Structure 1
């Protein structure tokens, strides 16, 4: 939680009169603490920390770590047991990466990601960080000067996506569409104006993508523009409504001519509405979807309440990320990353021999289907306990289980699974709209049929290494390995693992919303949304598992190519995966070949 938000909640408690004396003491204590450790800019002062006695410095760092850990875990408050392992709080690889970046930027401490993922206690981590603080102060990010207000360069991920979209302009494979029924009052003109303001705030949402001098570039419109459509649907049946939503969600964008964010409002009754948000991945990722909802809830609440609102910005923009990426890959670090991935993934690349129901076609994109599933709260809790016993994150355990499932389905021992990672580190990019995701490939060796408890440690090491080398753009790696990307068989991997999570305190339901789970309730202060199913028809990968830790347990879905698999086949696979997870929760010491599924 940010200092501003934490202070605001303490003041709110004082205003409401709840636990008044305790809140006064906490607020007074925090303000005193801030004066001891922060400089005039409100940033942590290393100089102030370094003159403290070591015991006091450790206590100060521990307090700061507790606040930052709560922020990284998207928890409004952290009742920290200083001796508890970080895994006990639900640490995952994304939160660990954020914490590592924060330690580096705040204290100048080069804390290895592997150390954080060992699950140290808050007390141990504070002692190590306090002892390693280096002199010097954190500098605020400077704006890039390599772009104008009307044109910005594109990242390698954007370029690759743009090429594939141009090769198949009628494909909707690069779109994120989410629909929801509004179960609260809705002021449609205010909603339109608020979304327009959000587009103005995030430059990339004003972009179109054109070819200039043989190179694709992002051109920014001078004024914020969105496609906002209001459509009467009072006479429609529910079946027709869902069909119209499906068709609109899969209508492709013209990335050169039209705004790349659409908001469709279907009026289903006098005061009843359904919203469809549709955004192109050239300008957004799943994190951006969370940013949109976060900004929407505050801006809409302020607008209907006739209050002013200020949007806070780090000063960073997507163009800064593009510049930093270009500098990285042309420098020594880029060469180091390239060598790592070529060594890791080079050589023979046998395709996964997934048992398909139909022969493969040559098309890159195919019609997609999805099979949802949900774990009980009891099984979800058992798996959390198992992660603590094994000393791994939930994401690592789920990835390892998926690799076992694919191994059992194919009989192959060398399993490659692609997984998106978020490159919003440094932390200055966490409030920036854009496609910051990159793809890494996690390679597993299941020879010898190891016990799952041993295999998951191998996966943990692989994940740590992959995250430490995640910044090398996947499209460049494809070029290095001379991999064809337009054949019928996807390159480097044919199965993918995704685990979206809620990014903002108070919006924990975003994980289920990003998952597209029907019925997910998203409370946005003055707006209440209930997610509706949206079938997105075009997919790139043969088989993808998307799974998230929601407020009511783990939930997921298998996405698949319908021209390869029958729905019944994937339904059976989903059931096998749930049974496999139950077996792992019960006894992780069994061989991966003998786990019931």
Structure 2
């Protein structure tokens, strides 16, 4: 890495940054699914030179936006912060297709060792209309940070100067000060007794594949009203409903799925205005009981999650080690609720002489199925990103439709029991999931590779993990072959 001003700082990585660094390195050569993007449509007489200068000022303001990620000699990655770095700002041909430019930017790979990992592309669509494409590697920033970057951009463009921002390194120092032992004990207790992962696409390998997306909208007024009356958040309602969808799909009553948390500790002053990657992915364990009422069930889900709030900074790999069963889940639920100063943004647009006509986004995930929830004043936007080859469109559609039905069922009868969900509404596993044409032995081998330490068989007080069961099966197979067993021969096993 070279930069005009030399090296300003060397910083550790946050837990999620470490995970993304590993996944990006592991998936090198394939499509980079860890790219986030926003496309801003700007109306007004725009000065491209001023906008370029504003983009440079944003990068100068937040040192972590200049980061390069490299391993030390011992292999542990660090982020290197150059003192100065030219902004990557390009201007496309006037009238270029915005979608094609955005797609080309998404497909242009980032080298984590060569910053900047944030690019800006400006497209002139008319005398007073432009599109600005912001493309970044997810290791740099999260969805909460995106509107902060836009706010700073418009402020600098208008000739203003935002107040000093607290640096991302302060958050990394906060993480280092936390009691790791206490956090690990909390997660160990929360996950105790889990015997196997909750997987909707067992046997599929993680791969860098561009996901497909479908969307649904749900009326929110009644749901929000009932939730408030019971002291529940909308996020809890969606999480509880999604756990029931997973129960129907998998036939299990001890469910785990991933959830994205903001990761911004209230104890860190000014954290709401900091730019960087704060979010984390943590497991949500839910154990519904038929005798539960909707309200009682959701209150328990909310209380169990609240008990872990102080420990949400712990990396997912560390959390999963506490459970002792390897991978815990292969689906992710993302509840997007970012604070936005709409009045302040309108004032900024007036000062800058630009109007933000529209904003569209593209986020990053590597899970076979990711659900996004965007609450609005009148509707909840539900989205499902699914990875072809792991989850098919019919399954994704079913999950979204069933989720919407169950959220509505809570609002209709919050005191009703879960057992009252009519049997006709429950979908059998074989009709809800698309089963690939693979042999049972292949599926078993894939499960052994994915969760070798999970319990496969239990008899009384004795149990066998998948790895132990495979070892016994292979020993028996060798004995049978040595005694003449082979293809098309009938063998009695007692």
Normalising by the residue count of structure 1, what TM-score does the alignment of the two structures yield?
A: 0.63
Alpha-carbon offset, residue 247 of structure 1: 3.3
List per-residue Cα deviations over 1:81-134 (Å, max 9, x = no partner): xxxxxxxxxxxxxxxxxxxxxxxxxxxxxxxxxxxxxxxxxxxxxxxxxxxxxx
Aligned to 1:274: 131
Aligned to 1:401: 241
Aligned to 2:188: 342
Indicate yes or no: 2:303 matched with 1:461: yes
- 2:144 is paired with a residue of what secondary structure? helix
Aligned to 1:58: none
For the 8 Å contact 2:10–2:81, the answer to whether it is kept is yes
* Cα distance change of structure 1 residues 502 and 156 upon mapping to structure 2, 3 Å threshold: closer
Indicate yes or no: 2:218 matched with 1:218: no
- 2:77 is paired with a residue of what secondary structure? strand
For the 8 Å contact 2:12–2:78, the answer to whether it is kept is yes
Indicate yes or no: 2:206 matched with 1:363: yes
Indicate yes or no: 2:387 matched with 1:541: no
Alpha-carbon offset, residue 552 of structure 1: 4.2
Question: Partners in 2 of 1:224 and 1:345 — Cα distance?
Answer: 45
List per-residue Cα deviations over 1:58-89 (Å, max 9, x = no partner): xxxxxxxxxxxxxxxxxxxxxxxxxxxxxxxx
* Cα distance change of structure 1 residues 193 and 540 upon mapping to structure 2, 3 Å threshold: same
For the 8 Å contact 2:206–2:367, the answer to whether it is kept is no
Aligned to 1:504: 340
* Cα distance change of structure 1 residues 317 and 361 upon mapping to structure 2, 3 Å threshold: same
Question: Partners in 1 of 2:66 and 2:38 — Cα distance?
Answer: 20
Question: Partners in 1 of 2:137 and 2:19 — Cα distance?
Answer: 14
Question: Partners in 2 of 1:259 and 1:274 — Cα distance?
Answer: 21
Question: Partners in 2 of 1:405 and 1:594 — Cα distance?
Answer: 15
Structure 1 gap ranges (5+): 1-147, 304-308, 485-490, 510-520
Question: Partners in 2 of 1:386 and 1:164 — Cα distance?
Answer: 41
Aligned to 2:385: 559
For the 8 Å contact 1:263–1:276, the answer to whether it is kept is yes
Task: Decide which of 329, 333, 354 is 1:493's aligned counterpart.
Answer: 329
| 1:51-90 equivalences in 2 (<5 Å) | none
Indicate yes or no: 2:400 matched with 1:587: no
Alpha-carbon offset, residue 219 of structure 1: 1.3
| 1:407-556 equivalences in 2 (<5 Å) | 407-425=247-265, 426-448=268-290, 450-481=292-323, 491-506=327-342, 524-525=349-350, 526-531=353-358, 539-556=365-382
**Runs of at least 4 residues off by over 6 Å:** none
Question: Partners in 2 of 1:158 and 1:210 — Cα distance?
Answer: 12
For the 8 Å contact 2:68–2:80, the answer to whether it is kept is yes
Alpha-carbon offset, residue 281 of structure 1: 1.9
Alpha-carbon offset, residue 483 of structure 1: 6.2
* Cα distance change of structure 1 residues 387 and 169 upon mapping to structure 2, 3 Å threshold: same
Aligned to 1:96: none
Structure 2 gap ranges (5+): 1-6, 426-494
For the 8 Å contact 2:44–2:354, the answer to whether it is kept is yes
What number of residue pairs does the alignment pair up?
Answer: 411
- Between stretches 524-533 and 567-576, larger displacement belongs to 524-533
For the 8 Å contact 2:94–2:123, the answer to whether it is kept is yes
| 1:277-292 equivalences in 2 (<5 Å) | 277-292=134-149
* Cα distance change of structure 1 residues 524 and 428 upon mapping to structure 2, 3 Å threshold: same
Aligned to 1:90: none
List per-residue Cα deviations over 1:135-156 (Å, max 9, x = no partner): xxxxxxxxxxxxx823222223
For the 8 Å contact 1:353–1:410, the answer to whether it is kept is yes
* Cα distance change of structure 1 residues 152 and 533 upon mapping to structure 2, 3 Å threshold: closer
List per-residue Cα deviations over 1:398-454 (Å, max 9, x = no partner): 211221222223221111121122232213322222111222222111133522122
For the 8 Å contact 1:366–1:563, the answer to whether it is kept is no
For the 8 Å contact 2:33–2:210, the answer to whether it is kept is no
Indicate yes or no: 2:184 matched with 1:325: no
Aligned to 1:97: none
| 1:303-318 equivalences in 2 (<5 Å) | 303=159, 309-313=160-164, 316-318=166-168
- 1:150 is paired with a residue of what secondary structure? strand
* Cα distance change of structure 1 residues 438 and 532 upon mapping to structure 2, 3 Å threshold: closer
Alpha-carbon offset, residue 593 of structure 1: 4.6
Coordinate RMSD, CA, aligned: 2.8
- Between stretches 276-285 and 183-192, larger displacement belongs to 183-192
Aligned to 2:113: 256
Indicate yes or no: 2:79 matched with 1:246: no
Indicate yes or no: 2:1 matched with 1:161: no
